[in-house]
Amino acid sequence: MATDRAPRGLLVRLTAPLLAVAASSWIVALVSLEWSFPYCLSQEDGPATAVYGFPLPYTRMSLVSSAVDDFMPHVYLLNVAIVATALLFAARTLRVRPPRRPALTATVAAALLGVQVLLQGAALASGFLNPTMSIGDSSYGLYSELRPVSVGILRINYECTPSRWWFPGGWQHK
């Protein structure tokens, strides 16, 4: 039984996922979605710092040092997977054709992903990112209370942005 399609090699099949993961790692790193929580409205017991992450929050400015961020690596990796899946779905839905030169495309994608891995690794190794299981705390803002308030490209504020729209009742001390 003959088919009209030429056989697709492993490189051709892996080019799209590799490109999606590389692109999503840069999208997650560059898109700044700021998240707010009720304590941002009052800050009675001291300052509150900003929380960022796209599509889910994964980093929070540290109160200890402005050069250190609390970082949830498992949520960062989940964000990369979510965005990569969305990119692959969009490419399939829009019927994007495979690249004519898959080896070159795969090499560029691997290089882009490699640079992102090196940047994240350097930030972790130098102490700019402090790995943690959760960026929320029980007293001033649970992870489940975070709500998106603004989006930008590489836009980072140290203080959190209050939101009366999400939290009309403000913050109540627990």
In this predicted model, what pLDDT tens digit does every residue of 125-135 receive, in sequence order?
998 998 989 88
78 phi and psi, to 5 degrees? -65, -40
Output 148 or 10, whichever has higher pLDDT.
Answer: 148
Is pLDDT at 8 greater than 60 in this prediction? Answer: no
Is pLDDT at 45 greater than 70 in this prediction? Answer: no
In this predicted model, what pLDDT tens digit does every residue of 82-103 receive, in sequence order?
999 999 999 888 887 767 787 8
CA dist., res. 67 & res. 75, Å (int) = 21
Output 3 or 62, whichever has higher pLDDT.
Answer: 62
Going by the DSSP 8-state scheme, the letter that residue 114 receives in this structure is H
Average pLDDT over residues 9-38: 86
pLDDT bin (cut points 50, 70, 90) of residue 76 is very high
pTM: 0.82
20 phi and psi, to 5 degrees? -65, -45
> Residue 37's pLDDT is what?
81
